[in-house]
Amino acid sequence: MESALEYHSALALLEWQVELGVTEAILDAPVNRYEMPEAAPRLAAPAPDASVEPPRRAAQVTVDPVAEAKKAAAGARDLSGLQTALAAFGHCELKRGARNLVFADGNPAGRVMIIGEAPGREEDRAGKPFVGQAGQLLDRMLGAIGMGRDAPLSANAVYITNVLPWRPPQNRDPRPEEIAMLRPFLERHIEIVAPEIVVLMGNISCDAVLGRRQITRLRGQWQEAFGKPVLPMFHPAYLLRQPEAKREAWADLLALRARLEAGG
């Protein structure tokens, strides 16, 4: 006996199923829902339009820190301008780890310009070169020949700076690339001060100015650089470690004094 399903009953059943979440009717054939679908056919890429120029990649700009240093140093007209240019130079990583820029100390009108290597901890704190134990020894050495950074007369005064204006971490030796990028500032520094004699303290300053090391062979031997007579000497920090070398340092100081008395 067949039971007739009237319209209203069928509609009520359909609404009830929809409320239960039914979204589709039962198909005539079973569906395998674990079967991987067939890969859709890949569409061929359209042929490039010859009339449209493809976008160009931006050229990677390589900065030469030595060239930038030469440009910045050449633009300095005086010591204040050179210090400002150094402070604005952003290509040396040492700047990020240092507390202060250690520029110079003493009298720029002095006859002698002393070039050290790099600031240490005390110099980094004070912002002045040669203020630690090595600096105190240097002051005593200069005082022994009647000279000093605080000498009242410019004839006996000295002017002091370093190859590097920022302290290397853990007081390590400056790297060749650091010396190379900061050398233009040192050269311009010597040009502006125009001393009669340049004294190079230690291996790093000899490397930066003369392109040579081996201070034990260079010390006491007059050289020439940037049109100036140059005297390499032991660094005071070396003399603190090797007191027996003070005899050679005293001989170099006497040679410096004799050269000044002879008119440079």
Q: What is the average pLDDT score of the chain?
A: 90
* 3-class SS of residue 231: strand
Structure tokens, 259: 């050269």
Candidates 208, 188, 215; CA nearest to 70 is 188
Please compute the mean of the pLDDT values over residues 84-108 and round it to a whole number: 96
Asked if the model's pLDDT at residue 1 lies above 50, the reply is no
Q: Please give the model's pTM, rounded to 2 decimal places.
A: 0.76
Please compute the mean of the pLDDT values over residues 114-132 and round it to a whole number: 97
Residue 13 — very low, low, confident or very high, per pLDDT cuts 50/70/90? confident
Q: What is the pLDDT of residues 216-243, one digit of tens each?
A: 999 999 999 999 999 999 999 999 999 9
Residue 11 — very low, low, confident or very high, per pLDDT cuts 50/70/90? confident
Residue that wins the pLDDT comparison between 264 and 113:
113
For residues 126 and 103, give the distance between their C-alpha atoms in angstroms, rounded to a whole number.
11
Per-domain boundaries in the chain: 65-261
Top mean-pLDDT range of 12-26, 50-64, 114-128: 114-128
Asked if residues 145 and 253 have their Cβ atoms less than 8 Å apart, the reply is yes
Asked if residues 174 and 92 have their Cβ atoms less than 8 Å apart, the reply is no
| Paired sense of beta strands 223-225 and 104-106, if any | unpaired
Residue that wins the pLDDT comparison between 82 and 30:
82
Length of the chain: 264
Q: CA geometry: angle at 175 spanning 170 and 181, to 5°? A: 120
Integer CA distances (angstroms), 26 to 8, 9, 15, 22, in order: 21, 19, 16, 10
Asked if the model's pLDDT at residue 33 lies above 80, the reply is no
For residues 191 and 81, give the distance between their C-alpha atoms in angstroms, rounded to a whole number.
13
Helix (H) or strand (E) holding 199: strand 197-201
For residues 228 and 102, give the distance between their C-alpha atoms in angstroms, rounded to a whole number.
24
Residue 263 — very low, low, confident or very high, per pLDDT cuts 50/70/90? confident
Asked if the model's pLDDT at residue 48 lies above 70, the reply is no
Q: Would you give the DSSP letter of residue 51?
A: T
3-state secondary structure 159-198: EEEECCCCCCHHHCCCCHHHHHHHHHHHHHHHHHHCCCEE
Candidates 189, 168, 182; CA nearest to 94 is 168
Q: Please give the pLDDT value at position 9.
A: 77
Asked if residues 260 and 197 have their Cβ atoms less than 8 Å apart, the reply is yes
Q: Please give the pLDDT value at position 92.
A: 96
| Residue 53 C-alpha from the chain's centroid | 41
Candidates 199, 115, 195; CA nearest to 155 is 195
Fold of 65-261: Uracil-DNA Glycosylase, subunit E (3.40.470)
For residues 161 and 136, give the distance between their C-alpha atoms in angstroms, rounded to a whole number.
15
Residue that wins the pLDDT comparison between 16 and 146:
146
Q: Please give the pLDDT value at position 14.
A: 76
Residue 100, class by beta-carbon neighbours within 10 Å (0-12 exposed, 13-18 middle, 19+ buried)? Answer: middle
